[in-house]
Amino acid sequence: MAPELAIDTRAFPCAPPSDLDDPRVIVEHDWQAFQAVECMQNHWDRPGWSEQRQAYYWMLTFAGAPALLRRAEHCQGTLEHLNMDPVPADGLHVTMLRIGATELVSRPQLQRLIELTEQLPVSGFRILAHPLAGSRGAVRFSLTPWSPLVDLHAALSTLGAQAGVPGGKPTSAFRPHLGLAYNNAERLATPVINAASQLRSLPPIALDITSVDLVKLRRQGRAYRWETIRTLPLGPAGPVSVVQGTAPGG
């Protein structure tokens, strides 16, 4: 059973759906929350997120998911007239959990976290990415079911606490989503909601989650960039693999 989620005004939606496994309930809940937004905020207006700042995160990435990349490109084309900042094809991701700012996480802490997560008690799973909903600062895919994602968040949070890293939002405030385009100016939400509604009849895309990435994230202009520090396979098969490189994020 997934950990209990709670109402949290810092999260979006503030309240979790009534069922964490029923796709219809989750998708409708996301859409109703987006429809209730009156004004959208500039996603990039985030005090403290300068281009010099870096932080460690756990993320799911989708470079090997061509169906998702095609669907994202199609949706972004439909939304192009809104002049939002589309997430690059190689930057589609789900933010799982903040580990901490790089200056607050020591090398021994990071190594300890990696060692602990080699025994992560979470198996791989499948989710669906449903077009389309949004938040106060972005347009995004709804994800279903939530339970395996919430379980993964909770497991990573527990191991982070054991490693002594600062950590991020509690699992009770976790709201899984996959960003498609970031809003870059204050605006009325209605035109964005109307444009997103045209895409809601598209079928969902299946995504097999077989690993989670530990990354060092930074902001660069109106995009996120990251360096993958470690890719952790989910499930009992195989040791942790090391991946080095950079990729744009969104």
Radius of gyration of the chain (CA): 17
Residue 71 belongs to what domain range? 23-249
Q: Within a domain: residue 201?
A: yes
- At residue 247, the pLDDT reads 33
Q: Within a domain: residue 4?
A: no
CA 7 to CA 5: how far, in whole Å?
A: 7
Q: Within a domain: residue 5?
A: no
CA 192 to CA 197: how far, in whole Å?
A: 9
- pTM of the complete model: 0.90
CA 139 to CA 127: how far, in whole Å?
A: 19
Q: Within a domain: residue 8?
A: no
Mean pLDDT calculated for residue range 175-203: 97
CA 198 to CA 177: how far, in whole Å?
A: 19
Q: Within a domain: residue 17?
A: no
**C-alpha 188, offset from chain centre:** 24
Q: Within a domain: residue 47?
A: yes
What is the per-residue pLDDT across 65-97, written as a single tens digit (0 to 9) for each? 999 999 999 999 999 999 999 999 988 999 999
CB contact at 8 A, 7 and 15: yes
Q: Within a domain: residue 7?
A: no
CATH classification at residue 237: 3.90.1140.10
Residue 250: pLDDT over 60: no
| Cis, bond preceding 145 (omega within 30 deg of 0) | yes
When divided into structural domains, the chain yields a total of 1
Q: Within a domain: residue 13?
A: no
CB contact at 8 A, 54 and 218: yes
The helix or strand, by DSSP H or E, that contains position 82, with its residue range, turns out to be: none
What is the per-residue pLDDT across 109-151, written as a single tens digit (0 to 9) for each? 999 999 999 888 899 999 999 999 999 999 999 999 999 999 9
